[in-house]
Structure 1
């Protein structure tokens, strides 16, 4: 099984080159979908595939009673921030639960007292609240469990008001397209691109940064390319990471191809890609294979030791034997999906540095 994964190429997962899509092509979603061979992951039979159309915005109000409440909370936060003026905000984050955790809520309800999210909230207040000494002012607008087409609906129905004009919109969405809906990499990629273009259309003068999909796995020890032991007894035995990685590769190309707007007219914002992959990964050293012992180090680690050289990152992780690569237990929670407080901090510091280095905020 592991040997098969190491032989895979990006073309095995995403057969078409979507990174050169034009806005005109996106206006013909039917033609794009016709060229997709499989709408779900390879392990899912076509008859059981229920991946929705990534171009059709939708809510989850019918299955999650609190979903609309959470959307309304986000809309109100966006309107309140917009009312404070054009230069109040540097960055608005759009995403799913990973983003919502920065506010300490789940479906819009405060759960910091019972969920252990206090650390994530403190990190955000430290890094993205100028009153607390942060270099940037930020607003997280996440909604737990959301997919690309859920976020598309939110953007079209209140969470992107006309007067909300930060310098930067930061986007992290798509992991639930894989994990919850079992969509193929191609379907997920199209969904993310559709959201990107919605932001570009509504906010042409803002810079949009697309965060790479974060590593995730169902393996109990955090390995990416094989499953030694299921983290949950009923978890699917699906190796997701190669598919997420293929999406990241094309997203990076898409952003690079579409970055030219700023060069032609400085009034227009750019489209940048932020590769967070190596922040959360490590190579297993063979000393310990017990995640509980590995995660116990998180409290006393010197955060300065966790800095990563982001410039040296590469998505080309298919080459060679990668069976020893796994998610860092210190930087991710035990679900190997959501960043831990330490992970939020290291990731957040990298975000701040990236924005300041690229000179795209109000304060620079």
Structure 2
């Protein structure tokens, strides 16, 4: 890719309807509709790790009391989230905090491209929700044993953390509690398929995340 070519991870793109049932666009339209009826203080946006959070008791226990809304879609990469947020999902809400968790599905993209995609999303949030704080969560390691995707995700996290550090109203949070054991393995008790989290895995991620969000919401509003 030459310097002049657009970054595919940072180019708003609707998800291709390869299965032919229109579910992705139906979900997007539902989120746009939800945004007209709800007044969240916290908006969660991202891929299946965000979407599935909603299916567990941890959501009702920790995040529903924070007036949270979940706009997660399984399989989404950065370019898909970018399209969704640019096409109506942010237009009728004014959350105090937007939690962004995306990037592990950006197959075929370099760490630099994925970082560019994440930062493009942060910019859209900043443009549309001028008073919101964007909290970017670090991408988790994946795979039972060490593999190139783990290395890629770790590199993305380093790049994003550096990029976010210079921005107002944005921050980075590493939510990996130590899923990789000393022998390099990840347990199926934390990630049932070595990518998606079990209830135990979500507990390990979400309890410190909840504490962090609570402290952010309890702070006086920034000008």
Give the alignment's TM-score, normalised by structure 1.
Answer: 0.56
Does structure 1 conserve the Cα–Cα contact (< 8 Å) formed by 2:138 and 2:173? yes
Q: Does residue 51 of structure 2 align to residue 100 of structure 1?
A: yes
Match of 2:128 among 197, 202, 209: 202
Residue in 2 aligned with 1:155? 85
Which of 97, 118, 135 aligns to 1:192? It is 118
1:90·1:361 contact (CA, 8 Å) conserved in 2? no
Mapped pair 1:350 → 2:208: yes
- Report the Cα offset of residue 363 of structure 1: 9.6
Determine the C-alpha separation between the residues in 1 that align with 2:163 and 2:217. 19
Structure 1: unaligned runs, 5 residues or longer: 1-32, 40-50, 83-88, 105-119, 131-135, 226-238, 262-269, 284-323
Query: What pairs with 1:129-278 in structure 2 (closer than 5 Å)?
Result: 129-130=64-65, 136-161=66-91, 163-178=92-107, 182-217=108-143, 222-225=144-147, 239-258=148-167, 261=168, 270-278=169-177
Judged with a 3 Å threshold, the aligned counterparts in structure 2 of structure 1 residues 200 and 187 are, in CA distance, closer, same or farther, namely: same
Tell me, what secondary structure is at the counterpart of 1:278? Answer: coil
CA contact (8 A) 1:75 1:159 kept: yes
Aligned to 1:280: 179
SS at match of 1:72: helix
Pick one of 329, 343, 348 that aligns with 2:188.
329
The aligned length equals: 219
**Is 1:125 the counterpart of 2:60 in the alignment?**
yes
CA deviations over 1:157-194 (Å, ceiling 9, x no partner): 12112x4111100000111103xxx2221221111111
Aligned counterpart, 1:55: 10
Say if 2:180 and 2:186, in contact at 8 Å, map to a contact too: yes
Match of 2:217 in 1: 360
- In terms of Rg, which structure is larger? 1
Deviations, residues 312-364 of structure 1 (Å, cap 9, x unaligned): xxxxxxxxxxxx2222332211x21111111112211111111233x335899
Q: Which residue of 2 aligns with 1:9?
A: none
**What CA distance in whole angstroms lies between the structure 2 residues aligned with 1:208 and 1:98?**
17
How well do the aligned residues superpose, as a CA RMSD in angstroms? 2.3
Maintained 8 Å contact 1:167/1:362: no
User: Higher helix fraction: Structure 1 or Structure 2?
Assistant: 2
The 1:209/1:91 distance shift into structure 2, 3 A limit, reads same
8 Å contact kept, 2:49–2:196? yes
After TM superposition, which residue ranges in structure 1, 4 or more long, deviate above 6 angstroms? none
Q: Secondary structure at the match of 1:280?
A: coil
Q: Which residue of 2 aligns with 1:112?
A: none
**1:90–1:362 contact (8 Å) kept in structure 2:** no
Give unpaired runs (5+ residues) of structure 2.
Answer: none
